[in-house]
Amino acid sequence: MAHLGAAVNIITSNGPGGRCGITASAVCSVTDTPPMLLICINRNSAMHAILEQNVHLCVNVLPGHHEELAKHFSGMTKMPMAERFEIPVWNCGTNDVPVLKDALASFQGRITELKPVGSHSVIFMEIDQITIAANGDSLIYFARNFCRVARDNPAMTS
């Protein structure tokens, strides 16, 4: 799976289980009507139960310069959860869910279904609000490394 490159996202939530976030690359669009994403989260993750309890989520698609933030929310730096949200990059979204100020895109919504599949849960999230940034490079995860992809990369053709 390490050879399946994917956008890096921080999934954030707030609610009865507390404020939390987790770095995830297993995020995919499902439908445009209604707008829906799927998110795959390991059921052994401490964030799994909190996300399920809180119901309201935001998928923040990371621009290239947020590699360190991705590392914090993946647990690589051991930064405590509360400190991750003290970094001055967050706005308060609908239902008090943290929204990254300069995300390439942010998708706010709620969990409509959760299905266990192997070691993970597939979370279906119906989108209530979408915000898209005008510009920015993308952060992807490939071969167990963070990589920055520029919009003006000649290898990217439209």
pLDDT < 50 stretches in the chain: 156-158
Residue 29 has a pLDDT of 94
**Domain extent listing, the chain:** 6-143
Q: How far is CA 45 from CA 73, 74, 87, 91, 125, in A?
A: 12, 11, 23, 25, 18
CATH architecture label of 6-143: Roll (2.30)
Going across the sheet that includes 9-13, the strands are 20-24, 9-13, 56-61, 105-117, 120-132, 35-42, 27-32
Residue 91 has a pLDDT of 96
Residue 21 has a pLDDT of 97
Is the sign of the CA dihedral 99, 55, 139, 87 positive or negative? Answer: positive
pLDDT in tens, 115-134: 999 999 999 999 999 999 86
H/E stretch holding 98 reads strand 98-100
Residue 146 has a pLDDT of 86
Residue 83 has a pLDDT of 97
